[in-house]
Amino acid sequence: MAEPSGPLPTGRNRRVVLYGHPVLRLRAVEVESLDDRARRFLADLKATMLEQDGLGLAGNQLGEPVRAFAIDPRSTGVDREPYCVLNPRVLAVEGRLEREEGCLSLPGIYEVVTRPEFIRIAGIGEDAKPVELEATGLLARAFAHEIDHLDGRLFVDHLSKLRLALLGRRLADLEERESRAAEAEAAPAR
């Protein structure tokens, strides 16, 4: 992957797609080149995550099946600026922690999900160089959550059939909201 020139451009806050949007069920496509379009997308991903108070945000949550995520380690108590990881893959996991989890694509829904206590991932950084990252606790949970998104899985997929059934009406409401938002975006401007 060719090295980009300079820092990411200024990103813009975009609409996060909601539960029911088909892109959330797709395996995201790897980023082949960190060209201007990809750099703008990463900038938007990071800006949207920060503007909408997310701990992390996956590429497909912006409606595009791009295999990248943004993360804000400061939200987990780690003193590091927000960054993006392209083409992430899990190298190792250890332990298991149960904790309540939410998602910008499922607003208002919080459920207890089991995730690894430790995770090691590899990918490509914003500078187009390989990175290997390790995390524990909440940051490990965030890495696992975002990589799940990039594989077409949502945190509610980890719930029992009973818990999922109890969320049925709320999930149907989100699907309806997403459908209306998609129709509004597709409508010609007047």
Q: Report the binding-site residues.
A: 103, 145, 149
Closest CA to 34 of 157, 128, 162: 128
Strand partners, 104: none
Q: Are strands 83-94 and 97-101 parallel, antiparallel or unpaired?
A: unpaired
Helix (H) or strand (E) segment spanning residue 121:
strand 118-124
Q: Of these residues, 101, 111, 126, 146, which one is catalytic?
A: 146
Closest CA to 16 of 36, 37, 44: 44
What residue type is assigned to position 171 of the chain? L
Report the alpha-carbon distance of residue 51 to residue 99 in Å, rounded. Answer: 24
Report the alpha-carbon distance of residue 73 to residue 142 in Å, rounded. Answer: 9
Report the alpha-carbon distance of residue 84 to residue 92 in Å, rounded. Answer: 20
List the binding residues for Fe cation. Answer: 103, 145, 149
Residue 101 is among the residues annotated as catalytic for this protein: no
The catalytic residues are 146
